[in-house]
Amino acid sequence: MTVEAHTISVLVDNEPGILARVVGLFSGRGYNIESLTVAETDAKQNLSRITIVTRGTPMVIEQIKAQLDRLVPVHRVRDLTVEGPHIERELALVKVKGVGEKRVEALRLADVFRASVVDAKTDSFVFEVTGNSDKVQTFIGLMQSLGLVDVGRTGIVAMSRGGEAL
Amino acid sequence: MKAEESVTTGADLLVKAMIDEDVEVVFGYPGGAVLPIYDSIFKQNRLRHILVRHEQAAVHAAEGYARSTGKVGVVLVTSGPGATNAVTGLTDALMDSIPIVCLTGQVPTHLIGNDAFQEADTTGITRPCTKHNYLVKDVGDLARVLHEAFYVARTGRPGPVVIDLPKDVLMAKHEYRPPKKPVQHKSYRPQVKPELKRIEQAVEMIAAAKRPVIYSGGGVINSGPKASKLLQQFARMTGFPITNTLMGLGAYPASDKQFIGMLGMHGTYEANLAMHGCDLLLNIGARFDDRITGRIAAFSPGSKKIHIDIDPSSINKNVRVDLPIVGDVAHVLEDLIRVWKARQPKLDQKALKAWWAQIDTWRGRDCLAYKQVGDVIKPQYALERLYHHIKDRDAYITTEVGQHQMWAAQFLKFEEPNRWLTSGGLGTMGYGFPAAIGAQIAHPEALVIDVAGEASILMNIQELSTAAQYRLPVKIFILNNQYMGMVRQWQELLHGGRYSESYMESLPDFVRLAEAFGAVGLRAHSTAELDGVIQEMIATPKPVIADILVDKNENCFPMIPSGAAHNEMLLGPEDKAAKPVSEEGMVLV
Ligand SMILES: Cc1cc2nc3c(=O)[nH]c(=O)nc-3n(C[C@H](O)[C@H](O)[C@H](O)COP(=O)(O)OP(=O)(O)OC[C@H]3O[C@@H](n4cnc5c(N)ncnc54)[C@H](O)[C@@H]3O)c2cc1C
Ligand SMILES: Cc1ncc(C[n+]2csc(CCOP(=O)(O)OP(=O)(O)O)c2C)c(N)n1
Ligand SMILES: [Mg+2]
């Protein structure tokens, strides 16, 4: 059976241990996590949203969703990949060190990728780039030869298109 | 009560909340972190505490209590080693879907994380072996958490819930207000009622079946006695053959002619061949465990499959099914029967008759046959005689794990649910005796027997002291083959007869061991002594160990070797050479 990547959104109670429950479920059952993001999204109701990118056969993906849904503090599990069009975004901070021609080229490419400069020294830049993972990856790849020294990536957050909430 | 005593502490509040949950008995073991709870227990007499001799046994006893009553079993242990000792029991309850609430002590909140004395990360350790767990850091949350824990443990697919209780929270002052019923959880809402559309689809599939089989499991027991009644009604209505898993025994009366015995690795020839050859497989509250399916690729290859289960994660986990129905067994069967009656579909009686004729020829193989020759007791014979003496009593049977467990499943017949208590999913040696204690506490007048192996019983033998203290007339019926028989059997069949470390050297004298604990010890060496020992065991109003010396070399058949298919089962010793175990099979457990 074919292995496919799925992006899953999970709405959970923001309580201690919730992330450990989710991560423990993946490691304990041998599922893999390609990307994981989590943050509180509704302070009043104390809810967090977890976005997970995982891989598996259709049967395994179905299991993953059922297992997530079984966790007591989980409110909702949505498979964005099967539920239709959705947006995925990732943010990266990319530090590039260099002078002269390389520095100019880095700045020029940043402009092409609409990455913004969030820190500048005479011999370094920190760029902030946002987009889908491919774009972020391509940008980082291009910086490799231009003095890349450090990368931080957020992992993917995702949302369905249209008016409906999770 | 004196004025200063009426001020409620966290611990008092817990006890009151448990009484509101209709808890009658708690199985536990004290220690520093839970002393406030023990103090609260001391000050009242509604809640009974049973002092076990090891925390693992506390959980198994609570499991025995829960499985034999349908109620939640309650455990109380201290922090650190108390909690870690409970882990095996919790895992056992998780695997077998047994509702348990386990209260664990914890060091005071300000010391958490400091490697304080008897500190363990209990919620961390028990996260993968509970249905849910809580660490209560504020006494104001205590009552809500406790009631929620009972709700989570008992509803949906039942399971163990741990509440970790820092000592300062137990000692903090707080008022208790009884909960508003019913508890509503904000994110946890198990689906109990099935979708009607699926019931209608099921009726169509069932009506079209030519070679059907009902495969029902522990979920029927979890659903309650009403589910068993409905299962019987449904089976009668259709006339379909029915098999039970190890966990489902008793959900359908074993004496009924539609019952074709247990299925799976040590199930009957007729049950397994019916599973293999059927065109409709109706799974009711079972989970396609690997002990049932054998090699997945060869499992019931020609059938349409319907799966009724309350837990969506049980569906399509191991075996892909054609029609999943999420819901509680009793609710689903009720709907199924109602829709069936309304539609009055015509079954293909001719095909069903031919199918039954086929099943009857399989039955004719008499796959459980054994030969009792000479005076060395065959374990099967011991169980047949035991059954003979208990069949007219409403007995509760628990088991340890091993060959004796499988023989008990094959040779003891259960007519009602909640009478058969065994560790199926985890296969925990040491489960049976404490579980029997729990069942006996719940049913003081009943005959409760732990069918044991001489190896397993040593894993929680200290509980003889508990049985003696509470004058529990639990019977331990040891099929003593001087081997870890199940291990020896696998070594014989799969490892060239190299009996590495499976012989039980230096066994105690079980008769004198019983006496040392104030129990009664009996022994049968030969067939001639067997009936007398069984009768005396039953007649003795005290805890008894009956040490039944049985044939050391007997193997448990039928057997589907790991990695094999249902139609490749071994029926007896003669079969084994003809069907060597595959390499893929060797790596399986
Ligand atoms: C040495 C040894 C040998 C074994 N050999 C065999 C063997 O030969 N044959 C055999 O059958 N087993 C055998 N077992 C046991 C086996 O390992 C499994 O424990 C057992 O088969 C599982 O039973 P079950 O499918 O009924 O599921 P259970 O573990 O009882 O699970 C119940 C299922 O029902 C669902 N459920 C729970 N409550 C409800 C409800 N209210 N409504 C609807 N669904 C519900 C649950 O979600 C779950 O999917 C053996 C065990 C040992 C230790
Ligand atoms: C706690 C635990 N440890 C190890 C095992 C593996 N195991 C399964 S059956 C068995 C032997 C049981 O021997 P005994 O109790 O004498 O029963 P018999 O098979 O001889 O009837 C062992 C060691 C287990 N199931 N549980
Ligand atoms: Mg033995």
Q: Is B148 a catalytic residue?
A: no
Smallest CA–CA distance, residue A7 to chain B, in Å, is 19
Give mean pLDDT, residues A150-164: 96
The encoded tokens of residue A109 equal 């490419």
Smallest CA–CA distance, residue A82 to chain B, in Å, is 18
Question: Between A and B, how many CB-CB pairs are < 8 A?
Answer: 42
Contact of B135 with chain A, judged by CB distance below 8 Å, is answered with: yes
- Sequence-separated (6 or more) residues with CB below 8 Å from residue A43: none
Q: Is B317 a catalytic residue?
A: no
CB-CB contact of A59 with B316 (8 Å): yes
Confidence label for B179 from pLDDT (cuts 50, 70 and 90) = confident
Q: What is the predicted pLDDT for the residue at B7?
A: 64
* Residue B3 in this model has a pLDDT that exceeds 90: no
Backbone angles phi, psi at B143, to 5 degrees: -65, -45
ipTM: 0.94
Neighbours of A133 (CB within 10 A): 17
Average pLDDT, chain A: 97
Q: Are B187 and A74 an interchain contact pair (Cβ–Cβ within 8 Å)?
A: yes
Phi-psi group of A114: left, alpha or beta (phi > 0 → left; psi -120 to 50 → alpha; rest → beta): left
Q: What is the predicted pLDDT for the residue at B101?
A: 99
Q: Which residues pair with B477 in a beta bridge?
A: B451, B546
Q: What is the predicted pLDDT for the residue at B588?
A: 85
Model pTM score: 0.97
Q: DSSP assignment of A42-108, as one string? A: ETTTTEEEEEEEEEE-HHHHHHHHHHHHHSTTEEEEEETTTSS-EEEEEEEEEEEE--THHHHHHHH
Contact of B313 with chain A, judged by CB distance below 8 Å, is answered with: yes
State the catalytic residue, choosing from B262, B265, B486, B537. B486
Q: What is the predicted pLDDT for the residue at B5?
A: 45
Is the shortest distance between the CB of B460 and ligand 2 below 6 Å?
no
Q: What is the predicted pLDDT for the residue at B6?
A: 52
The encoded tokens of residue B143 equal 């009552």
CA proximity to B429, closest of B450, B401, B449: B401
Average pLDDT, chain B: 96
Q: What is the predicted pLDDT for the residue at B86?
A: 99
- The DSSP output letter for B589 is -
Q: What is the predicted pLDDT for the residue at B178?
A: 85
Q: Please tell me the residue having the least CA distance from ligand 1 atom 53.
A: B427
B212 three-state secondary structure: strand
* Residue B97 in this model has a pLDDT that exceeds 60: yes
User: Half-sphere exposure of residue B76, counting CA atoms within 13 Å on the CB side?
Assistant: 28
Tens digit of each residue's pLDDT (9 = 90 or more) over A58-109? 999 999 999 999 999 999 999 999 998 999 999 999 999 999 999 999 999 9
- Bridge-based pairing state of the strands B100-106 and B160-166: parallel
Tens digit of each residue's pLDDT (9 = 90 or more) over B398-456? 999 999 999 999 999 999 999 999 999 999 999 999 999 999 999 999 999 999 999 99
Give mean pLDDT, residues A138-155: 98
Q: What is the predicted pLDDT for the residue at B181?
A: 73
User: Half-sphere exposure of residue B203, counting CA atoms within 13 Å on the CB side?
Assistant: 22
Give mean pLDDT, residues B561-587: 83
Tens digit of each residue's pLDDT (9 = 90 or more) over B79-92? 999 999 999 999 99
Q: What is the predicted pLDDT for the residue at B577?
A: 60
- The amino acid at residue B105 is G
Q: Kindly state the helix (H) or strand (E) to which residue B521 belongs, with its residue range.
A: strand B520-524
* Residue A136 in this model has a pLDDT that exceeds 70: yes
Q: Which ligand is nearest to the CA of B88?
A: 2
Backbone angles phi, psi at B183, to 5 degrees: -65, 130
Which single residue is written with the structure tokens 């209260």? B103
- Sequence-separated (6 or more) residues with CB below 8 Å from residue B454: B478, B479, B480, B481, B482, B504, B507, B510, B547
Instruction: Give me the sheet containing B448-453, strands edge to edge.
Output: B420-421, B396-399, B448-453, B475-480, B544-549, B520-524
Residues of chain B with Cβ-Cβ distance to A16 below 8 Å are 135
Question: CA B177, B181, B186 angle in degrees (round to 5)?
Answer: 100
Q: Are A13 and B312 an interchain contact pair (Cβ–Cβ within 8 Å)?
A: no
Q: What is the predicted pLDDT for the residue at B4?
A: 45
Residue B302 and residue B517: Cα distance in Å, rounded? Answer: 56
